[in-house]
Amino acid sequence: MFILFCFVFVNLSFSQKKQDFVLTSPDGKIEIKILVNDKISWSISHEKDLILAPSEMSVTLNENVVLGKDPVVLNSKKESVDTSFESPFYKKKSVQNKYNQLTLNFKNDFSIEYRAFDDGVAYRFITKKKKDITIKNEKVVLNFDQDYNTLMPYVRDLRNPKDPYISSFESHYENKKVSEFAKDTLAFLPFLIDYKNHKKAVFLEANMEDYPGLFMTNNTTKSGFESRFPKYPLKETNGGFNYLNKLITERADYLVKTKGSRNFPWRIIVISENDAELANNDIVQKLSEPSKIKYISWIKPGKVAWDWWNDWNIYNVDFKAGINTQTYKYYIDFASKNNVEYVVLDEGWSVETDIMKHNPNVDLEALIAYAKERNVGVILWCSWMALNNNIEGVFENYSKLGIKGFKVDFIDRDDAKMVNSVYDIAEKAAKYKLLLDFHGMYKPTGIQRTYPNILNFEGVKGLENNKWTPNDDVPLYDCTISFIRMMAGPMDYTPGAMRNATKSEFKPSHSNPVSQGTRSHQLALYTIFEAPLQMMADSPTSYMKEQESTDFIARIPTTFDETVALDGEVGKHVAIARRKANTWYLGAITNWDSREITIDFSFLEKGKKFEAEIFSDGINADKSAVDYKREIITVDSTTKLKYQLASGGGLAMIIK
């Protein structure tokens, strides 16, 4: 008995003593250190720079079982993966997926997977319990060794002051120190930390199925952040704009009740030495589940003639413009003549609370037939609340009528109940071969790979805000989201304004909305901003008056075979080139600072000559933002050209 006691004591002591594990990226630059003692924590360094100081992780289950408290490692496994997968509705045709992985298996039926890529790191919990579990909380901590600058999007929504988790996920970035994080507030992902030596890190999450979204708040030491999650909704009531939201009046004391054997969301940190790298990153795509749709040939990306931003404001016609059949025929004619794939019917085509009831001024069946004859697809807007009342019935009915998809709006939550609803909508839409654009939506977290019929997401402070916000710095924001928000996935930003204004001349307008910055800035956004379903926000009348710009926009595809981030600095400027088949598309923009940029054409195939159609800022764009210069020149892989971008300016090219 004494010998047996000693044996057990020695084994327990060995299993519970402090243990260190190390995982490095394939190129050896990134190192993850995992420390297991009375808790589990990790730290991350990039070469000699500490990116993340020791930071704790844990998951609390029902009955206050904490996965991560007094953990016992049973075994560990390391492996290296170098593979690739096809990505047909993305910014590149295929994605290289190369990483080193460490899996720690713990007593109490759980594991943690750590992955180290050359451009970032990630971890996730995995549970292996036979019975269903209740997740009470997850602890995600981000500690830093210095008081770094952050670019942080705070929750700004006031629809329900008692519940800060109701949000449209649209905010400009606050540029503040870690210690200056606004007390008792929440920020959503993704956000950026600015380190020394020009290095930056962006924090994201992926594979969020059956789980709530991650928010961050300041921790008690003011040296970092810690997680907050929306609890599971128990009671809801109608509210928000036009009572189109479900506001939460009572939440549970848990996050979600879920399967006992499951993967948790990935917690991700992307690390860059060069800002431009952030504008061409695939980590969310790599950490997402593969497509659940077997046959995808019916999924057709493209551009959309959009009615709402321009307030149905067409003129030089002999009918009253508005939400009616004649106006939408005008939009369809415009789309057909300009090779625009879709027209969206935004709010007003139906009763907002019952989308099975049509506006009597809109003959929907006639419009669908009219559009089909002209090779244009019709997409319908609806609120999530109205759709959620009868998802199957709505999708079955409108798919039979010939509708191609839905723009689902006013989601405005990412608790587990809403996340599950988004997955359910995606699955049912795929069943009826319907495309989806999730508006009023949290940031994408990889579901776009799992359900590729989802072609776009909002979760961005897009062009629509120009209709009512006079003081927003839009060019700054454009030059920031390209490196942060866009890393999560597509953005339903809705570019394409044909009325453009300088900083001093800009004024909001409801029926004749204007963009901040130059015409060339707007044209460039069609290449820079990822959006497999991309809106053309201005009115057909405006586009026909500016046919040269319209022809250019119409020729830019919405998915690509290759992407090259040419240059950029967060908040200042960005330049991206993308290839589709044998044609390249290039966009460059700046903030309100005019600047000279150099375009290096070395991304072109060597030994070949190319014709470049170029829209650059006109010589008078500093006074008249609509001024641009169009030229056609010959370039090759040795060409280097300098361009002067005006204040809020841009540069756009098609190179064939």
Phi, psi torsion values for 447, nearest 5 degrees: -60, -20
Q: 2: helix, coil or strand?
A: helix
Both tokens of residue 543?
């586009």
β-strand partners of 409: 383
Q: Is residue 246 within a helix (H) or strand (E), and if so which, with residue range?
A: strand 245-251
Q: 571: helix, coil or strand?
A: coil
Question: Which residue, 330, 324, 331, 326, is CA-closest to 361?
Answer: 324
State the Cα–Cα distance between residues 655 and 611, nearest whole angstrom: 6
β-strand partners of 177: 149
Q: Please list, in sequence order, all residues whose beta carbon lies within 8 angstroms of the beta carbon of residue 3, skipping any fewer than 6 positions away.
A: none
**Do residues 603 and 584 make contact, with C-beta atoms less than 8 angstroms apart?**
yes
State the Cα–Cα distance between residues 271 and 50, nearest whole angstrom: 11
Phi, psi torsion values for 210, nearest 5 degrees: 55, 50
- Conformational region of residue 197, where left means phi above 0, alpha means psi within -120 to 50, and beta covers everything else: left
Residue 486 burial (C-beta neighbours within 10 Å; 0-12, 13-18, 19+): buried
Say how far residue 396 (Cα) sits from the centre of its chain.
29
State the Cα–Cα distance between residues 446 and 438, nearest whole angstrom: 13
Residues carrying an active site annotation: 409, 464
Residue 66 burial (C-beta neighbours within 10 Å; 0-12, 13-18, 19+): middle
**Do residues 267 and 139 make contact, with C-beta atoms less than 8 angstroms apart?**
no
Tell me the torsion sign for CA atoms 367, 371, 373, 377.
negative
DSSP letter, residue 339: T
State the Cα–Cα distance between residues 190 and 209, nearest whole angstrom: 18
State the Cα–Cα distance between residues 258 and 417, nearest whole angstrom: 11
Tell me the torsion sign for CA atoms 245, 249, 254, 256.
negative
Question: Which residue, 490, 471, 494, 472, is CA-closest to 482?
Answer: 490
As a whole number of Å, the end-to-end CA separation of the chain is 83
Both tokens of residue 310?
């321009």
* Residue at token pair 């993308």: 578
Q: Residues in the chain, how many?
A: 656
Q: Please list, in sequence order, all residues whose beta carbon lies within 8 angstroms of the beta carbon of residue 471, skipping any fewer than 6 positions away.
A: none
